[in-house]
With several copies, the nearest count.
Chain A
C-alpha cells in the first residue's frame, strides 16, 4: 500500500514533496489548501473542498489539484497505509 500524506500548512508541503514517492497520495487540508493556489507543483494534489471554499480559493486552484470531500478523505485512508501528517 502507498502512503497518504496530509499537509495542513503551505510551509510543510516542500518537505512532504521531498519525501513522497510517486505512488503516494498528497491531501491538502486546513491552511494546506493555500498551497493549491500558490505553488506550482508538478504532481497531482488533492485539497479538501470546504477548506478551499471557506478561503475563497475555488477559482484559484492549479490544474493539478482535485477537490476532495471528507467522504473521499475516508476512502483515501482505506486505500493507503500509513497516514502521515505534515505541519
Chain B
C-alpha cells in the first residue's frame, strides 16, 4: 500500500544545495510509486519563479528540475498563499501549476501524511 509522503520545501533554490537535493529525493519517491506531494512554503516559493538560470552562477536550474515532477507522477503540488503574497508572486506566473492553500488547509494536508521530509 503506497505511503503518503509530503516534501515540505521552505528553502531558497540557490543559497544552498538543500532545495535541489530535496527535489531529487522527491523524484526518487515518485519512481517508488509512493503517493508523493510537495508543499512550497516561505522562501521555498522562490523555487517557483520563472526565468531562473543557475548556469549564471555555476549551478543547476532548480526551476527546470520542478518541471520533471509531473514526469515522475508527482502532480499534487501546493503553495502557501501567505508566502506567495508576501513576495508579490502571482500563482498564475509560476514554472509549474500549483494549488494555493491557506495555512489552515496546509495543516490538514500535513496531518494526512505518513511521512514529511523537508529541505
Contacts and interface: CB of A to CB of B under 8 A. Distances in A.
In the complex, A touching B (Cβ < 8 A): yes
A85 B53 CA distance: 26
Given A18-B103, A19-B107, A84-B110, A31 B86 contact: no
Instruction: Sort chain A's interface into a size bin.
Output: 20 to 34
A3 B110 contact: yes
A21 B111 contact: yes
Contacts of B104: 21
Nearest to A52: B56
Contacts of B107: 3, 19-21, 24
B12 A34 contact: yes
B53 to A, nearest CB: 6
Contacts, number: 88
B118 A87 contact: yes
B71 interface: no
Nearest to A32: B15
Interface in B66-109: 82, 86-88, 103-104, 106-108
Given A50-B57, A54-B14, A19 B88 contact: no
B46 A55 contact: yes
Given A15-B10, A18-B103, A54 B56 contact: yes
B46 A60 contact: no
Contacts of B50: 56
Interface of A: 1-3, 8-10, 15, 18-21, 24, 30-31, 34, 37-38, 50-51, 53-60, 81-87
Interface of B: 6, 8, 10, 12-15, 41-43, 46, 49-57, 59, 63, 82, 86-88, 103-104, 106-108, 110-111, 113-116, 118
